[in-house]
Amino acid sequence: METENNNKPNIIEISELNKWYGDFHALKNINMSVKEGEIIVVCGPSGSGKSTLIRCVNFLEKFQEGNIVVSGTELTDDAQKIRKIRSEVAMVFQHFNLFPHLTIVDNLTLAPIWVHNETKEEAREKALKFLERVDIKEQAEKYPNQLSGGQQQRVAIARSLCTSPKIMLFDEPTSALDPEMISEVLDVMVELAKGGITMICVTHEMGFARKMANRIIFMDEGQIVEENDPINFFKNPESDRLQLFLSQILTHDE
Amino acid sequence: MAINELQSARKPPTTQIGAILWLRTNLFSSWINGLLTFASLYLLFISIPPLLDWMFLSANFNFGTVNILGFDIKFSEVMADNDSCGKEAACWPFIFEKIYMFIYGFYPREEVWRPDVFYGLTALLILIVRLVKNYKYKNRVILSMIVTYPIVSYILIAGGFGLLPVVETHQWGGLLLTLIIASVGIIISFPIGVVLALGRQSDLRVIKLFSTLFIEFIRAVPLITILFMASFVLPLFLESGTNFDKLLRALIGIALFQAAYFAEVVRGGLQAIPKGQYEAADAVGLSYFQKNALIILPQALKISIPNIVGSSISLFKDTTLVLIIGLMDMLAMVNMTSQDIYWLGRETEGYVFVTIVFWVILYSMSRYSRKLEIRFNTENKD
Amino acid sequence: MKQQNILSQLKGLTFRELLYNNEARAFFFQAATFLLIAGLFYTIIGNLFDNIEARGIHTGFSFLKNRAGFDILPFLGNYLQDYTPESSNLTVFYVGLINTLIVAFVGIILATVLGLFIGIARLSNNYLVAKLAGGYIELFRNIPVLLQIFFWYNIFINIFPHPKKSFNFFDMVFLNQRGLYLPKPIVEDGFLLVIMAFVVGIIMTVFMKRYFKKKHDETGVYTRTIGYSTLLVIGLPAIFFLLLGSPLHFDFAVLGKFNLKGGMQIVPEFIALTFALSVYTATYIAEAIRSGIEAVDKGQKEAAAAIGLTQTQSLKLIVLPQALRVAIPPTINQYLNLTKNSSLATAIGYPELMGAFGGTVLNQVGQAVEILGMAMLVYLFISLCISLLLNIINKRMAIPER
Q: What is the mean pLDDT of chain A?
A: 89
The pLDDT confidence band at residue C319, using thresholds 50, 70 and 90, is confident
pLDDT digits (tens, 9 = 90+) for A87-101: 889 999 999 999 998
Asked if A78 and A52 count as a contact pair (C-beta separation under 8 A), the reply is no
User: What's the pLDDT at A3?
Assistant: 46
How close, in Å, is residue B324 to chain A by CA atoms?
44
Check whether A65 has a pLDDT greater than 80.
yes
Q: For an interface test with C, give the residue of A64, A77, A80 to mutate (most C CBs within 10 A).
A: A77
Tell me how far the alpha carbon of residue C98 is from its chain's centroid.
Answer: 12
Looking at chain A, which residue has its C-alpha nearest residue C10?
A77
Interchain contact, A90 vs B283, CB within 8 Å: yes
- Helices C127-141 and B31-52 sit at what angle, rounded to 10 degrees? 40
Give the single-character DSSP code of B5: P
pLDDT score of C284 more than 90:
yes
Model confidence at C48, pLDDT cuts 50, 70, 90, reads confident
pLDDT of residue C184: 79
CA pair distance A193, A184, nearest whole angstrom: 15
pLDDT score, position C4 = 46
Count CB pairs under 8 A between chains B and C: 157
The answer to whether B14 faces chain C, any CB pair under 8 Å, is: no
- Residues of A within 8 A of C22 (CB-CB) are 77-79, 82
Range of weakest confidence among B303-307, B371-375, C188-192, C335-339: C188-192
pLDDT of residue A251: 66
Query: Between chains, do C21 and A82 touch, taking CB under 8 Å as contact?
Result: no
DSSP string, A74-138: E--SBHHHHHHHHHHEEEE-TT----TTS-HHHHHHHHHHHTS---HHHHHHHHHHHHHHTT-GG
pLDDT band at C2 (very low <50, low <70, confident <90, very high): very low
Point out the residue among B37, B222, B347 whose CB comes nearest to the CB of C158: B347
Say yes or no: A108 contacts chain B, CB-CB below 8 A: no
A82 in contact with chain C, both atoms CB, cutoff 8 A: yes
Distance between CA B200 and CA B193 in Å, rounded? 10
Which chain C residues are closer than 8 Å to A81 by Cβ?
20
Chain B residues closer than 8 Å to C159 by CB? 348
Q: What is the pLDDT of residue B258?
A: 97
Question: What pLDDT does residue A17 have?
Answer: 92
Q: Cβ separation of C379 and B323 shorter than 8 Å? A: no
Q: How far apart are CA C247 and CA C190, in angstroms?
A: 6
Any chain C CB within 8 A of the CB of B284? no
Query: What's the mean pLDDT in C134-156?
Result: 94
Closest CA to B362 of B330, B337, B336: B330
B276 touches chain A (CB under 8 A): yes
The pLDDT value recorded for residue B381 is 47
What's the angle, vertex CA B95, arms to CA B90 and CA B99, rounded to 5?
A: 165
Q: What averages of pLDDT result for each successive group of 10 residues across chain B (382 residues)?
A: 70 64 76 86 91 87 80 80 81 88 91 92 87 78 84 88 86 92 92 96 92 95 94 84 83 96 95 93 91 93 90 94 93 90 86 95 91 76 46
Interface contact B238-C29, CB threshold 8 A: no
Q: In chain B, which among 314-353 make CB contacts under 8 A with chain C? A: 316-321, 323-324, 331, 334-335, 345, 347-348, 351
Query: Is C118 an interface residue toward B (CB < 8 Å)?
Result: no
CB-CB: which of B280, B283, B290 is closest to A114? B290
How many angstroms separate the Cα of A83 from the Cα of each of A11, A74, A183, B279, B296?
17, 12, 33, 14, 19
Query: Percent of chain C, pLDDT > 90?
Result: 30
Min Cα separation A76/chain C (Å): 8
Residue C9 contacts A where some CB pair is shorter than 8 Å: no
Beta-carbon count within 10 A of C294 CB: 13
From CA A39, how far away is CA A198, in angstroms rounded?
6
Best of B136, B203, B277, B284 to disrupt the A interface (most A CBs within 10 Å) is B284
For chain A, percent of residues with pLDDT exceeding 90: 56
Interface test with B, best of A114, A148, A155 (most B CBs within 10 A): A114
A86 contacts B283? CB cut-off 8 A: yes
In this predicted structure, what is the pLDDT of residue C339? 94
- For position B3, what pLDDT does the model report? 67
Give me the mean pLDDT over the C315-335 stretch: 88
3-class SS at A28? strand
Q: Mind telling me how many Å the CA of B19 is from chain A's nearest CA?
A: 44
Q: Do A60 and B283 touch (CB under 8 A)?
A: yes
Residue that wins the pLDDT comparison between C19 and A148:
A148
**Residue in C127, C141, C344 closest to B224 by CB:** C344
- A-chain CB neighbours of C21 within 8 Å are 76-79
What is the C-alpha to C-alpha distance for residues C323 and C294, in angstroms, rounded to an integer?
Answer: 8
Subunits next to C (3 or more Cβ pairs <8 Å) are: A, B
Contact A100 B276 (CB under 8 A): no
Q: From A71, A89, A90, A74, select the one nearest A9 (Cα to Cα).
A: A71
Confidence of residue C181 (pLDDT cuts 50, 70, 90): confident
pLDDT, position A5: 57
Q: What is the dihedral angle through the alpha carbons of C238, C240, C245, C249, rounded to the nearest 10 degrees?
A: -50
Report pLDDT digits (tens) over A206-254: 899 999 999 999 999 999 999 999 999 998 888 999 999 988 887 654 4
Residues in C touching A77 (Cβ below 8 Å): 21-23
Mutation site, C18, C19, C20, interface A, largest A CB count within 10 A: C20
Given this model, what pLDDT does residue B145 score? 85
Quick check: A79 contacting C, CB < 8 Å? Answer: yes
pLDDT at residue A22 is higher than 50:
yes
In terms of CA atoms, which chain C residue is nearest residue A79? C20
Partners of A15 in beta bridges: A67
Interface of B with A in 288-347 (CB under 8 A): 290, 294-295, 298-299, 302
Lowest mean pLDDT among B184-193, C41-50, C111-120, C392-401: C392-401
Asked if B284 and A90 come within 8 Å (Cβ–Cβ), the reply is yes
- Least confident among A117-121, C184-188, C297-301: C184-188
pLDDT for B129: 82
C379 against B13, higher pLDDT: C379
C161 band by pLDDT with thresholds 50, 70 and 90: confident
Chain A environment of B287 (Cβ under 8 Å): 79, 83
Interface of C with B in 323-342 (CB under 8 A): 340-341
Q: Do B276 and A160 touch (CB under 8 A)?
A: no
Which chain B residues touch C157 with a CB distance below 8 Å?
Answer: 347
Q: Is A80 on the interface with B (CB under 8 A)?
A: no
Which of residues C11 and B64 earns the better pLDDT score?
B64
| Furthest-apart CA atoms within chain B: distance in Å | 103
Q: Quick one: what percent of chain A has pLDDT higher than 70?
A: 96
| Cβ distance of A98 and B280 shorter than 8 Å | yes
Cβ pair A40, A34 in contact under 8 A: yes
pLDDT in tens, A153-182: 999 999 999 988 999 999 999 998 888 889
- Scanning C274-313 for CB atoms below 8 A from B yields none
Report the chain A residue with the minimal C-alpha distance to residue B275: A97
From C152, which residue of chain B is nearest by alpha-carbon distance? B348
CA distances from A196 to A12, A158, A216, C361 (A): 15, 16, 17, 82
pLDDT at C8: 65
Burial zone of A226 (CB within 10 Å; 0-12 exposed, 13-18 middle, 19+ buried): buried
Nearest CA in chain C to A78: C21
Give the closest-approach CA distance of B291 to chain A in angstroms.
10
Q: What percent of chain C stands above pLDDT 70?
A: 96
Chains in touch with B (3+ beta-carbon pairs under 8 Å) read A, C
Complex ipTM: 0.90
CA A59 to CA A62: how far, in whole Å? 6
Least Cα separation, residue A22 to chain C (angstroms): 11
Cβ of C129 and B240 within 8 Å? no
pLDDT of residue A150: 92
Smallest CA–CA separation between B274 and chain A, in Å? 9
